[in-house]
Amino acid sequence: MTEPILRLANIESSYGPVRAIRGVSLEVRPGSIVAVLGNNGAGKSTILKTISGILDPDKGQVFFEGRPINGKPADWIVRQGIGHVPEGREVFPLLTVHENLLMGAYTRKDRDAVHRDLERMYGYFPILAEKRNQEALALSGGQQQMLALSRALMCRPRLLLLDEPSLGLSPKLVKEIFEIIVRVNGEEGTTMLLVEQNASIALKSAHFGYVLEVGRIVLEDTTQRLLEKQDVKEFLLGVKSDGARDDRRWKKKKQWR
């Protein structure tokens, strides 16, 4: 079995006095898509912020390609090959689409390859090609998500972190975004770690999954096996044992089997 490209070992991170994640350990294998699933406030985004250097962990270590990277500056981590698509897209609103994409390649010196990658991004998202000279502020939410994803890919990351790529998008756009995520993974072999509340599409797109509850990993398995577990169906997908859908979800903490 190949060594993990990313490994978290007993990570604990906080916001001031509030402990957001507690003893989180996970692995991401090269070429895979790994999903971290859980409800709002479970600590999913905190995991990504800890990996990318936005937040320093209180305890534990983050290893990328076998080397510890926690405590390093965020820009240094980007240069090592980790891209991050943050929650809420966070594009540069007054820059054009084209300029936003070039910002994603600011660490690169291979100008000819950057130009080829620009055209590749426009191939993935033709609407961005049409709007390349428009300010990002003028794009719809779905188009901004496409731009944020493309901008992160422009740095040619060996590991791409995706924070709630479905957030605020229509079902049609969510389907389109995840089709591109799967396509990039398949065609380019880009390893991805994504966090999602939309468990259904995440489990269908990823290869392996972790379930996070109140800052702790409570379940992990291949996505195929997770989809077969009744606990996951009820808690994350809202499907009861009789096949009916329960949109109320669970109010109380569930004991995972």
* Domain ranges within the chain, ordered by starting residue: 6-235
Distance between alpha carbon 167 and the CA centroid of its chain, in Å?
12
CATH number belonging to domain 6-235: 3.40.50.300
**Is the pTM for the entire model greater than 0.75?**
yes
pLDDT in tens, 13-32: 999 999 999 999 999 999 99
Q: How many whole angstroms separate alpha carbon 121 and alpha carbon 175?
A: 18
- Kind of pairing between the strands at 82-85 and 59-64: unpaired
The answer to whether residues 203 and 38 touch, using CB atoms and an 8 Å cutoff, is no
Place of tokens 């990570």: 11
Q: How far apart are CA 99 and CA 188, in angstroms?
A: 23
Lateral strand order in the sheet of 6-15: 18-28, 6-15, 59-64, 67-68
Please report which confidence band the pLDDT of residue 128 belongs to, taking 50, 70 and 90 as the band edges: very high
Burial of 61 (0-12, 13-18, 19+ CB in 10 A): middle
Q: How does pLDDT run across 50-81, given as a tens digit for each residue? A: 999 999 999 999 999 999 999 899 999 999 99
